[in-house]
Amino acid sequence: MKNRLMDGIAQPAFVLMWSSAFIVGIIGVGAAPPMVVLLGRYAIAGPLLLLYGLAVHAVWPRGRQLRHVMIAGLLVQIVQFAAFYSAMGEHVSAAVISLVQGLNPVVIALFSGVLGEHISRRQWVGFGIGGIGIALAVADQSRFSWLGLLLCVVGLLGLSLGTVYQKKFSPAVDSRAATAVHQLVSAPVAALLVLISGNFHISDYGRFAISLSWMIIVNSIGVFLLFNAMLRRWDATRVGKLFFAIPVTTAILAWLFIAQPLHALTIAGLAIGMIGMVLASRKTSAARPAPGVEPTPAVPQDLTAQPALPAAATSPDLTRA
């Protein structure tokens, strides 16, 4: 009975929890500057994840390995989320941001020289189709921003480069410890970004507190625990396929909760983009499988430093989003 309950609830719960990160992110940056949201998230989630790692006796990286984990964490957390949250501040929709983030495995494939992998013709086609889907979804936005789109690309590169870096230099680090280190090292950098921006004004403390609480409890901790539980129970491919449902789920949640429009062109763009994601994430039989954040070989982001996933599972904490 317990096993059937896990099968029936875990997968939709994971998709909803991951997708919700984009929604609460937009609510958060609507109540406070993006860098303040970033700082609040890491300043609270980092110590909590540290306590969790100590409680479960995680193996902590040291020396050169620790430096590599810190660099990967700054790429995945600071570069990715500073860019994505700033894009939200430029009124880029949650659906577009989640679709761009979902192209993470495609960008990782483009760094095949680092990973020693071969890019198949099907993957190149998938990359092109995914780009067309994003273009359609963006074209349907009532308030288009070239700066916002550029920020999305920067965020995607941060996630992908951080994933590749972690895979190359610290692939065997305990995922629980790496996740805590990523958040802890990002907090002071986020504080510096707040000081540089000079914008500390919180316009709505209630919305800010609610969104921040959700980011920390659900997106930074809850989805991380559920992700690992599913990987212990099921194979990585089954878990990885869930990421293909996130852009559409995000679009629906954004329509329901923050009144972002869901027009025919947006739906078409999301559908085409997802087809591209599926094609680009599939490997030919001759190609070596690409290991998958937050969260290691293919960190989904808002999940960083998670157990290895195939490229299909790579997507974003927004850690985890």
Using CA atoms, how far residue 111 sits from 33, 115, 121, 279, in Å, is 33, 7, 15, 17
Q: What is the mean pLDDT of the chain?
A: 80
Verify cis geometry, omega within 30 degrees of 0, for the bond prior to 90. no
What is the arithmetic mean of pLDDT over 260-288?
72
pLDDT at 314 over 70: no
Percent of the chain with pLDDT over 90: 41
Euclidean distance between CA atoms 263 and 249, whole angstroms = 15
Measuring CA to CA, which residue among 235, 262, 258 is closest to residue 247?
262
Q: Determine the pLDDT at residue 149.
A: 87
Rounded to whole angstroms, the maximal C-alpha distance in the chain is 55
Euclidean distance between CA atoms 159 and 105, whole angstroms = 10
Top pLDDT among 222 and 103 is at: 222
Helix (H) or strand (E) holding 232: helix 223-233
Q: pTM for the full model? A: 0.80
Of the CA atoms within 13 Å of residue 136, those in its CB half-sphere come to 19
Q: Determine the pLDDT at residue 117.
A: 60
